[in-house]
């Protein structure tokens, strides 16, 4: 089986070319063909000799996944793609339109092992990690489908990015240098994998780090997010403080309001205690409800927002996108597998 050349970084492209007996600078040209020019075939790489193109095609393939299903919310233009991988597995990517441009939410794993109680992505667990090329491919396919340029990347789709650390870091660097997406326009969301946060602090990246918080009370958070049993709340906060001290990059805490669970007055007080006087940011989220749980969106979103603002907390309410479609991570993929089984 031929190796997919899409997903190789600049160093790998250069080593690939020298391995074929070519000059090292050919690697940079290959890198440009793959990402800047988004070539679909080796035959399109016109500054390579026919002999070199033949050598490349003999040893490698240039493969992209396939958008099997696309859903569109006609209210806000959000689009969700179900993408089939070469091995028949499925992932999701979501395109959202903002004033600052087109933002794509990408997946990093097929399935997820985090077990968060309110999330559809984790149903059935993780099947495998995605390669850097498979994560990049989500950008490639969305841009090709919509004939637009993605300006912002949100690594918040299916999977825990810091559990697929090496491939995600490789993806970020190629998205930046290959696709030309600024690091400050890339956001990575984690459930709180402390070793990954510590490693990320040493990468010298300018990306935005987001932490799925959802409760400031340790025992409550453990019930909602099983990973909190391994990486407890206090240790996570220590890791976040160390990250900010090392990088100077503020952290966004994500907080999905769940009716009767984490939307109480004591939750407001806990958030004020945590964030008062800090440069970090709180992103309140209206819960995307899924059929498998009894968790429902809180009716106190605006009250919660107002109380935090009155206390000087840097907080925003995330605009809820994709209300007309299977917007929550994992819903479309889950439906596709159910359809397969019922056939």
3-state SS track over the chain? CCEECCCCCHHHHHHHHHHCCCCCHHHHHHHHHHHHCCCCCHHHCCCCCHHHHHHHHHHEECCCCEEEEEEECCCCCCEEEEEECCCCCEEEEEEEEECCEEEEECCCEECCCCCCCCCCCCCCCCCEECCHHHHHHHHHHHHHHHCCCEEEEEECCCCCHHHHHHHHHHHHHHHHHCCCCCHHHEEEEECCCHHHHHHHHCCCCCCEEEEECCCCCHHHHHHHCHHHHCCCHHHHHHHHHHHHHHHCCCEEEEEEEECCCCCCHHHHHHHHHHHCCCCCEEEEEECCCCCCCCCCECCCHHHHHHHHHHCCCCEEECCCCCCCCCCCCCHHHHHHHHHHHHC
Interstrand relation of 251-257 and 281-286 (parallel, antiparallel or unpaired): parallel
The CA distance from 338 to 142, in Å, is 25
Which residue in 92, 134, 163, 254 is the catalytic one? Answer: 92
The CA distance from 141 to 77, in Å, is 17
329 is catalytic: yes
User: Could you tell me if 284 and 304 are in contact, meaning their C-beta atoms sit under 8 angstroms apart?
Assistant: yes
92 is catalytic: yes
Residues acting as catalytic residues: 92, 329
């Amino acid at each position: 089986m031929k190796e997919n050349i899409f997903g190789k970084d600049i160093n790998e492209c250069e080593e690939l070319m020298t391995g074929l007996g070519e000059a090292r600078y050919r690697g940079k040209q290959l890198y440009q063909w793959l990402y800047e020019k988004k070539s679909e075939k080796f035959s399109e790489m016109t500054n390579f000799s026919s002999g070199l193109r033949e050598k490349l095609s003999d040893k490698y393939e240039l493969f992209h996944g396939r958008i099997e299903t696309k859903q569109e919310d006609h209210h806000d233009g959000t689009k969700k793609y179900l993408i089939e991988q070469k091995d028949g597995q499925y992932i999701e990517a979501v395109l959202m339109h903002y004033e600052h441009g087109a933002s794509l939410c990408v997946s990093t794993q097929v399935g997820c092992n985090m077990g968060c109680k309110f999330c559809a992505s984790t149903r059935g667990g993780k099947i495998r990690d995605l390669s850097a090329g498979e994560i990049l491919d989500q950008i490639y396919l969305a841009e090709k489908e919509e004939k637009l340029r993605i300006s912002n990347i949100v690594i918040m789709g299916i999977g825990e990015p810091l559990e697929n650390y090496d491939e995600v870091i490789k993806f970020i660097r190629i998205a930046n240098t290959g696709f030309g997406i600024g690091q400050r326009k890339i956001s990575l969301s984690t459930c709180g994998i402390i070793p990954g946060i510590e490693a990320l602090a040493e990468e010298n990246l300018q990306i935005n780090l987001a932490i799925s918080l959802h409760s400031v009370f340790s025992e409550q958070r453990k019930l909602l997010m099983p990973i909190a049993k391994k990486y407890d709340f206090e240790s996570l906060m220590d890791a976040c403080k160390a990250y900010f001290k090392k990088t100077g990059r503020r952290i966004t805490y994500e907080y999905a309001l769940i009716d009767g669970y984490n939307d109480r007055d004591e939750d407001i007080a806990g958030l004020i205690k945590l964030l008062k006087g800090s440069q970090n940011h709180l992103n309140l989220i209206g819960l995307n409800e899924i059929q498998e749980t009894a968790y429902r969106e809180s009716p106190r979103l605006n009250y919660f927002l107002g109380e935090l603002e009155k206390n000087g907390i840097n907080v925003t309410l995330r605009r809820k996108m994709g209300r007309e479609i299977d917007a929550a991570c994992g819903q479309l993929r889950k439906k596709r597998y159910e359809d397969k089984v019922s056939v």
